[in-house]
């Protein structure tokens, strides 16, 4: 199925994408950082769910979530299909930039963010126990940030 948004053109396999997204939804992390995103995102960015729906992707089924801070998130949603044409700039939804990135011949990801959210859980955000607090994950987040900053730089130059 062809999806055109701005100057982006995607070819999406609805059945495979749905299957993966539902699997990701059912196995997603339930720590406070992630929970805060799942509860808060519709309130702050109502257009995001509708955008992901067009790709047959559940908003609660990201394949990766990076809470750079407890209230600042970067997410990747895996889609089965191809980026036929990459646009010149990110797609903007409710002020959130979304980039398509090729994973391999049959899959790509929609990188969503960064997203700012208020902290809405009762739990103290400084006391959340999360995989995102593990040194290994912090290292990955750090690498991700460097990567993003360098690609932004290339984008601007
Ligand atoms: Zn989590």
How far is the centre of ligand 1, averaged over its atoms, from the C-alpha of 26 (Å)? 13
How far is the centre of ligand 1, averaged over its atoms, from the C-alpha of 95 (Å)? 24
pLDDT at 150: 76
Q: Are 38 and 96 in contact (CB under 8 A)?
A: no
Q: How far apart are CA 30 and CA 28, in angstroms?
A: 6
How far is the centre of ligand 1, averaged over its atoms, from the C-alpha of 73 (Å)? 11
Cα 26 to chain centroid, rounded: 16
How far is the centre of ligand 1, averaged over its atoms, from the C-alpha of 9 (Å)? 32
How far is the centre of ligand 1, averaged over its atoms, from the C-alpha of 4 (Å)? 32
Burial of 7 (0-12, 13-18, 19+ CB in 10 A): exposed
Residue 67: strand pairing partners? 73
How far is the centre of ligand 1, averaged over its atoms, from the C-alpha of 150 (Å)? 26
* pTM for the model: 0.90
- The two counts, helices (H) then strands (E), for the chain are 4, 7
Q: How far apart are CA 144 and CA 50, in angstroms?
A: 27
The pocket of ion ligand 1, defined by CB under 5 A, consists of 29, 31, 34, 130
pLDDT at 157: 38
How far is the centre of ligand 1, averaged over its atoms, from the C-alpha of 141 (Å)? 13
Domain extents for the chain?
2-156
Query: Structure tokens of 73?
Result: 């998130």
Q: Walk along the chain (157 residues) and give the pLDDT tens digit of each residue.
A: 999 999 999 999 999 999 999 999 999 888 999 999 999 999 999 999 999 999 999 999 999 999 988 899 999 999 999 999 999 999 999 999 999 999 999 999 999 999 999 999 999 999 998 888 888 988 888 888 888 777 655 554 3
Q: How far apart are CA 133 and CA 27, in angstroms?
A: 19
How far is the centre of ligand 1, averaged over its atoms, from the C-alpha of 155 (Å)? 30
């Amino acid at each position: 199925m062809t999806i055109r948004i701005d100057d982006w053109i995607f070819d999406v396999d609805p059945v495979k994408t749905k299957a993966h997204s539902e699997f990701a939804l059912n196995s997603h992390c339930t720590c406070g950082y992630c929970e805060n995103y799942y509860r808060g995102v519709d309130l702050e960015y109502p257009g995001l769910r509708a955008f992901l729906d067009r790709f047959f992707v559940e908003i609660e089924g990201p394949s990766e979530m990076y809470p750079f801070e407890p209230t600042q998130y970067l997410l990747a949603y895996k889609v089965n299909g191809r980026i036929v044409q990459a646009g010149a700039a990110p797609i903007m939804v409710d002020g959130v930039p979304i980039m398509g990135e090729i994973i391999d011949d049959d899959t790509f990801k929609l990188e969503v963010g960064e997203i700012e959210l208020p902290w809405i859980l009762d739990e103290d955000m400084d006391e959340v126990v999360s995989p995102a607090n593990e040194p290994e994950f912090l290292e990955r987040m750090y690498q991700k940030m460097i990567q993003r900053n360098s690609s932004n730089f290339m984008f601007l130059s």
